[in-house]
Amino acid sequence: MSSSADLEELLAVLDLRRVDENNFTGSHPSKNPIRTFGGQMMAQAFVAASRTVKYDLPPSALSVHFVAGGDPDRDLEFRVTRLRDERRFANRRVDVMQGNALLASALVSHLAGGRGLEHGVDFPAVPEPLSVPSIEDLLVGYEQTVPLFVDALKPIEWRYTNDPAWVMRDKGERLAHNRVWLKARGPMPDDPVIHAAAMVYSSDTTVLDSIITTHGLSWGFDRIFAVTMNHSVWFHRPVRFDEWVLYSTTSPVAAESRGLGSGHFFDRDGRVLATVVQEGIVKHFPDSAAAK
């Protein structure tokens, strides 16, 4: 399947089927991990919430708590509860269900704030997106090491400005941050909800990488168990996800088998588009030889 077909699949997955005023059904793409990809679930929940907002309000925040893993062979149900509806504010809760099982619960807010004070973190010094290798180039020679990455759906173009975890591990290096240029692999509809949803989908990629690269570890090389517990996105400015954005992430802390990943999305002008924080359970199981 071509990458443009992968993007078409993602767009189809984000095109939820409306059951009634407050309930939606969502499908899975043809390529899936063992459990529903968290980024997909979050993006679909965001779309469900946004489709119930009466006024033209931009999103301000999304916070998702994961309860159980989803089965990719079954559709997802999105049950929206309208918590607040005003001309400048809207709040929604979205429960993601499969049958009677609650998989995740999302709180989504929309707010028309108007003009105010502005500042932001500095845009990091990184090379231009087309001057660094594509994700396909970076996976050459590592097909047996990270097969899940090789076989994954690729609706978004990734271009790392630093070595990804598996290359870094192969070189015996470590790094406390990860910076990746991202862009949809083709045209997208002129719908701000879908552009924001694509960013939410992508926010679940690479955000935990800095936890392991800080310690010189990598998926595939090392025995690592990781699962997301909660994930939040704050939307600062509208995004066009058919244009290059930089996702710059780091890990401020890891303790008690839990790690925090945080980061920002920037546009090409260096403006902060969104802030992301994710907490995950991350366990490393050294093999017996390395433990001695």
Per the structure, the count of domains in the chain is 1
The answer to whether residue 246 scores a pLDDT higher than 70 is yes
* 10-58 per-position pLDDT tens digit: 999 999 999 999 999 999 999 999 999 999 999 999 999 999 999 999 9
* pTM (2 d.p.): 0.95
Pairing relationship of beta strands 245-255 and 224-235 according to DSSP bridges: unpaired
The answer to whether residue 292 scores a pLDDT higher than 70 is no
CATH number at residue 212: 2.40.160.210
Q: Does residue 257 lie within any of the structural domains?
A: yes
* 117-128 per-position pLDDT tens digit: 999 999 999 999
Q: Does residue 124 lie within any of the structural domains?
A: no
Q: Does residue 125 lie within any of the structural domains?
A: no
Could you give the angle at which helices 192-203 and 38-50 cross, rounded to 10 degrees? 150
For residue 121, the model assigns a pLDDT of: 96
End-to-end Cα separation, the chain, in angstroms: 45
Q: Pick the closest to residue 181 from 260, 267, 111, 276 (CA basis).
A: 267
Q: Does residue 119 lie within any of the structural domains?
A: no
92-98 long-range contacts, Cβ below 8 Å, gap at least 24? 92/49, 92/52, 92/53, 94/45, 94/48, 94/49, 96/41, 96/44, 96/45, 96/70, 98/70, 98/71, 98/74
For residue 194, the model assigns a pLDDT of: 98
* 46-90 per-position pLDDT tens digit: 999 999 999 999 999 999 999 999 999 999 999 999 999 999 999
Q: Does residue 266 lie within any of the structural domains?
A: yes
Q: Does residue 121 lie within any of the structural domains?
A: no
Residue 270 φ/ψ region, left for φ over 0, alpha for ψ in the -120 to 50 degree band, beta for the rest = left
* 151-161 per-position pLDDT tens digit: 999 999 999 99
Q: Does residue 54 lie within any of the structural domains?
A: yes
Domain encompassing residue 84: 3-113+132-291
Q: Does residue 72 lie within any of the structural domains?
A: yes
